[in-house]
Amino acid sequence: MFVEDRSPYFADFAVAATLAQTSTTQWPGDPVPFTAVPVSVIFDAPVVDVGGVMTPQPQAQIDSDDVPHYVLNAELIVSTGDHAGTYQVREAVPDGTGMTLLVLTRVS
């Protein structure tokens, strides 16, 4: 099976972040709990139309191998760059190429 090395993609564009589990992340019966995982993400905040109001929608691309089993409601803490802050993961969308898009909400 062919496995593409995605590290050059992250080397040029990624920022350091941490995925951290919160008390609302863990669902009963979830077999793979995690606490805090250092990750590299490519952060973006495209402007989208929400009910007629143009607003930034924070999102991050992450290597699918770095995404824990259940990441919804986890916190993504971006430690550097223009978008430094804490975000809650609202949705995780794998793209089938080894990358996952995390749709985020800014917490602080």
Q: What are 76-92's pLDDT values in tens digits?
A: 999 888 889 999 999 99
Distance of CA 106 to the CA centre of its chain: 12
90 φψ region: left (φ > 0), alpha (ψ -120 to 50), beta (else): alpha
Token output for 42: 């490519």
Whether 40 maps to a domain, the answer reads: yes
- Tally the domains of the chain: 1
CATH assignment at residue 68: 2.40.10
pTM: 0.82
Query: Domain residues for 69?
Result: 7-106
Interatomic CA distance for residues 20 and 36, integer angstroms: 4
CA atoms of 93 and 78, how far apart (whole Å): 19
φ and ψ at residue 12, rounded to 5 degrees: -90, -30
Asked whether residue 2 is domain-assigned, the answer is: no
pLDDT of residue 24: 56
